[in-house]
Structure 1
């Protein structure tokens, strides 16, 4: 029996499908795109390192601390550090918390499922009784409003889970920058392959979370739960943060009568791949804080590219936002390739058809994003 050759795709993003099947990225390859993506990921890797450490610190030491004034100090509380914090001369850890809340709200994956189990609730109950053994007021609150403390610890688990996820991504982006500096990365396809290799290498990395109170350890996310990096943090992160996101305060109305926000959570399209590059500098638009953090670590070669544009660095945060969005299309490409049912380079017709169906499903998600804007005016690689 002769296998039927793969027919052309009729999907509106067929060109993007063909590019993925050819081993390329969603973002078209060009020297400027390569420089932008690697440069912004180099900066992002440094920021994620700080975010990861703080989230893990909060999960380990700020659990059941209801007035956590010093949660961003990572356990080092000095007058000089507090003055820098109040002055704003610091990493904006608020963005990391914003992201964790977004993941928790959208849910998905084994982490979200486990936090709804009786085992998790029972562990939280034992933890609260141990921590507040000599505090009858909190024990009474826990007895009457048990969901309050359980929800608090769910959030702590998400802080730790996201911190562990970002730990891996920070290392991937930092090593990518090092390889680029050594001349080992010369195309976006190689960028995507580097990220994909990193995702695959840590796919089965356990996601665990334990806290200790007066010598007793409480396994809130035990190893026996079988939670791992790729299915339980990476994939939910892509869905919640890259695609769905949350509406930015100050840019749309939350008034139900205004009808500016979809009534169905699954219809949200405010993620990193959908967002307009609009750093408004207003409180309540956390992505602006991420751009402000990354601007401190932008490599010189990327600064030089920005200076050559019409406005120079006058709209630096907007430029960083655009570069960041382009880089996230490359990260998404790596995830798409890594999760494909068969290697995208396969020559087996049946596997090619299965991959085609898989890619068309992804393109339904990609279609509403800003991929066309990211690729607009991009010259063909020489």
Structure 2
């Protein structure tokens, strides 16, 4: 997906809900995405595919953070510890998962740096832990031993990046399991609507909310904490919310797809005002080399469940634009995940009758709507119903 903000262009034409309507839906506990069998097919299918991809992403990110830690030349980091000739050949021929997209998401989280995880990475406790690791590592690595005195913050920054990599791997482990569980629940008949789908995702996020996020490395036979239990970092507040902020909302402009005039401030100097994330982007997977969403759509294409793939083949240009279709479905799915996160983090129950609690809920919903109303909300309508209406 290539974000074309400001002055977003549209590749879809569908009714756009107003900000007031979005706020009403959130406060009423309704779904942002319209109910329809087609939407259910798209979201469940694309999240099942995404769950398979996230499984591979999670395994690789954890491998990189633990086994490629402070490796100055990590040329085999995408091989998960299997540098066989067959694996290398498949990698070179692109018969593989594109872990570069996972790195893009990690870099977005690391760069935007929001939430409890980033706050801990700036503490004295973290720096003291880094100092112990660096002392042990540089005694055994001549290159790092030479670099550290010359650039004393370089290795600390690498450890910060590794911590973000491992935390993202843990986050995606939970999300992979949740999305695959959702697909099984839909097949079992436990999820039969978008409302039930959002509730299923919300329950999964809430259940994992307090799951601890920790990270340790082994250097020369010694174990060192990078993210210790004492940091009290947890899944939802310290990793999931910063991920939504960095990847769903802020993102980064994709060089090579859109020209931006920085002098005209088409790219804001304020990172908090970035709107290049998945919820704002136009579904334009160009399949150009190195374009992150194109890499993700290719990975998801390799794992599409047959019912969704069959439906795609019956639409538009069939197989010819299937990655664009995946991209559009994926955006709908991300609105559902965001919907679940918002619903699960309201400050007070939606059915409360206390006026102060209702005001707090309204303020919370309004803050979200202020950002979502500028996103690609045209994908939320039931497009098939809109088409039927226009034909009649």
Same fold (TM over 0.5): yes
For 2:266 and 2:162, the matched residues in 1 are separated by: 31
Equivalent residue runs for 1:219-368 within 5 Å: 219-253=225-259, 256-257=262-263, 259-368=265-374
**Deviation (angstroms), 1:343:** 1.9
Matched with 1:3 is: none
Offset at residue 344 of structure 1 (A): 2.1
Higher relative contact order (CA 8 A, sep 6+): 2
By how many angstroms is 1:267 displaced? Answer: 1.4
- For the Cα contact (< 8 Å) 1:250–1:284, is it kept in 2? no
1:118 aligns with 2:85: no
Query: C-alpha distance in 1, partners of 2:79/2:316?
Result: 40
- Alignment partner of 1:158 is 2:164: yes
Residue pairs, 1:184-195, within 5 angstroms = 184-195=190-201
Counterpart selection for 2:33 from 24, 27, 32 = 27
Q: CA deviation at 1:234?
A: 0.5
* Matching residue within 110, 120, 134 for 2:140: 134
Do structure 1's residue 218 and structure 2's residue 224 form an aligned pair?
yes
Aligned with 2:79 (options 73, 79, 82): 73
| Secondary structure of 1:104 counterpart | helix
User: 1:336-381, CA deviations, whole angstroms, 9 ceiling, x for partnerless residues?
Assistant: 011101122334444333212211111001011001244263539x
Alignment of 1:22-101 (within 5 A): 22-101=28-107
Deviations 1:136-164 (A, max 9, x none): 44223212211111111111001000000
Task: Determine which of 177, 181, 185 is the counterpart of 2:183.
Answer: 177
Closer/same/farther in 2, CA of residues 376 and 178 from structure 1, 3 Å limit: closer
- 1:4 alignment counterpart: none
Comparing 302-311 with 208-217, greater Cα deviation is found at: 302-311
- Shifted more, 172-181 versus 139-148: the winner is 139-148
Q: Confirm or deny: 8 A CA contact 1:275 1:370 kept in the other structure.
A: yes
Instruction: Give the 3 Å change call, closer, same or farther, for CA 255–21 of structure 1 in structure 2.
Output: closer
TM-superposed deviation, 1:283 = 2.2
Q: 1: distance between equivalents of 2:352 and 2:385?
A: 28
Question: What 5-or-longer segments of structure 1 have no aligned partner?
Answer: 1-10
Q: Give the secondary-structure state (helix, strand or coil) at the position aligned to 1:146.
A: coil
Q: Secondary structure at the match of 1:379?
A: helix
**Equivalences for residues 1-20 of structure 1 within 5 A:** 12-20=18-26
Give, in whole Å, the separation in 2 of the partners of 1:185 and 1:192. Answer: 9
| Larger CA deviation: 58-67 vs 18-27 | 18-27
Following superposition, the deviation at residue 254 of structure 1 comes to 5.9
Offset from partner CA, 1:111-169 (integer Å, 9 cap, x none): 10111112222222221221231344422321221111111111100100000000000
Q: Secondary structure at the match of 1:149?
A: helix
Q: Residue 27 of structure 1 contacts residue 330 of structure 1 at CA under 8 Å; is this kept in 2?
A: yes
- 1:172 shift after superposition: 0.6
TM-score, L = length of structure 1: 0.93
How far did 1:182 drift?
1.0
The two structures, once aligned, show a CA RMSD in angstroms of: 1.7
Counterparts of 1:374 and 1:249, CA distance in 2 = 28
The separation in 1 between residues aligned to 2:314 and 2:353, in whole angstroms, is 44
Deviations along 1:295-340, one digit per CA (max 9) or x if unpaired, are: 0111111112212212112101100000000000000000101110
C-alpha separation between the residues in 2 aligned to 1:122 and 1:142?
Answer: 15
CA displacement at 1:264 relative to structure 2:
1.5
Q: Work out the number of aligned pairs and report it.
A: 370
TM-score (norm 2): 0.91
- Which structure 2 segments of 5+ residues have no match? 1-16, 387-392
Alpha-carbon separation, structure 2, partners of 1:192 and 1:254: 36
